[in-house]
Amino acid sequence: MNIDFGALPTPCYIVDERLLIKNLEILHSVQERTGCSILLALKGFSMYAVFPLVSKYLKGITSSSLFEARLGFEKMGKEVHVYAPAYVEQEFDEFLNYCDHIVFNSFDQWNRFKGKVKNFNAKKIACGIRVNPEYSEIETPIYNPCYKHSRLGVTLSNFRPKELEGIDGLHFHTMCEQNSDTLERTIKVVDEKFGAYIQKMKWLNLGGGHHITRPDYDLETLVRSILFFRDKYGVDIYLEPGEAIALNTGFLVAQVLDIVDNDMRIAILDTSAACHMPDVLEMPYRPHIIDAGKPGEYSYTYRLGGLTCLAGDIIGDYSFTQPLKPGDRLVFCDMAHYTMVKNNMFNGVNLPSIALYNEAEGIKIIRQFTYEDYISRLS
């Protein structure tokens, strides 16, 4: 039943398919109850080994670049949506081959590329405009698409109703790790500002940042919010969470390499905050470790540091019931999303292996990295 973390090479990310299925079932129930379509935002989780599983539940993917769009097209093969702050002229023709929906960040971008969309005969591509409702409850500016002078989305004062011909939908993305009470307050603003335009649309995309699979998430308010727009305007509703798909489904298993002392005990691990869990430094946040507590909670407190030369490559301070020693394994929780998609080989540190667990097959190591992966990105 339980994964034998001791059987893994370290460092290693491992995703538990049982936990992923639990999330996908919750998301699917929202689709069933509301008729909405839920897409996986590849920015948060691009582990294509599980795309066959994800595709049984969700309607497709959303992407923010040519490579993500291609990955979704080739490895999932369902709906492919894209939104990017701007499209590169030389890449746009290739996008057309992969995408079903293209969302533009400005009317100038729409006007620049609409001819190419219209003349693309292989299939009909739906086009949308991202709006900025100038309402968000995110307090960290780096994650707030509505902060002052944000480049993401068209504000009401810049909206050009006369240039909507050919536009089927509107898109907004203003949330991050939030519950549905935030969504309910947000849609009120969106409706007040953009309702007259939504009326003319076929679909509305509510973006990502919906923490739908978190234990305390209020599904009823989400369902009510989706039905509000669907019933008021007769539009199809899309949600495109990333994090909610992979939330609490994966682990990062690492090993203690050495213990040093400098006014406190410091454990150096074979992983790195900077390379393997960059959001620990960027968000910042403190990952949970199985059987470890806050500093001082258990008898033995350590600072956990990575194996790069960056002084700030620190994961945090944790306490344990037994002293740590080289060879001990630590299991970091909730390491499936915004890790594999963001990690890097700074300082020549190798990437963690990637493994998958399911009941029928047990542990499968699906990817290990080598010097070739490192050198192939340099010249």
Ligand X SMILES: *Cc1c(COP(=O)(O)O)cnc(C)c1O
Residue 91 is assigned to a ligand binding site: no
- Report phi then psi at 85, rounded to 5: -55, -30
Choose between 10 and 213: whose C-beta lies nearer to ligand X: 213
Contact status: 44 vs ligand X (CB under 6 A): yes
Nearest-angstrom CA–CA distance, 337 and 248: 9
Given candidates 60, 128, 209, 278, which one binds ligand X under the rule CB under 6 A? 209
Distance of CA 108 to the CA centre of its chain: 28
Residue 372 is assigned to a ligand binding site: no
Nearest-angstrom CA–CA distance, 364 and 16: 11
Nearest-angstrom CA–CA distance, 76 and 70: 10
- Stretch of 183-191, 203-211, 222-230, 328-336 lying at the interface with ligand X (CB under 6 A): 203-211
- Stretch of 37-45, 159-167, 326-334, 362-370 lying at the interface with ligand X (CB under 6 A): 37-45
CB distance 11 to 308 below 8 Å: no
Nearest-angstrom CA–CA distance, 24 and 47: 15
- Stretch of 18-26, 41-49, 65-73, 222-230 lying at the interface with ligand X (CB under 6 A): 41-49
Q: Which two tokens stand for residue 253?
A: 């298993």
Alpha-carbon torsion, ordered 190, 243, 130, 231, to 10 deg: -40
Contact status: 47 vs ligand X (CB under 6 A): no
Given candidates 208, 278, 306, 316, which one binds ligand X under the rule CB under 6 A? 208
Given candidates 133, 207, 287, 316, which one binds ligand X under the rule CB under 6 A? 207
Choose between 29 and 144: whose C-beta lies nearer to ligand X: 144
Choose between 223 and 363: whose C-beta lies nearer to ligand X: 223
Given candidates 60, 128, 242, 305, which one binds ligand X under the rule CB under 6 A? 242
Contact status: 128 vs ligand X (CB under 6 A): no
Contact status: 41 vs ligand X (CB under 6 A): yes
Contact status: 83 vs ligand X (CB under 6 A): yes
- Stretch of 17-25, 183-191, 234-242, 264-272 lying at the interface with ligand X (CB under 6 A): 234-242
Cα distances (angstroms) measured from residue 185 to each of 51, 150, 152, 181, 192: 33, 20, 20, 6, 11
Residues contacting 357, CB < 8 A, separation 6+: 3, 14, 15, 16, 17, 18, 363, 364
Contact status: 278 vs ligand X (CB under 6 A): no
Give the residues lining the site for ligand X (CB under 6 A): 41, 43-44, 62, 83, 173, 176, 207-209, 240-244
* Binding positions for substrate: 243, 279
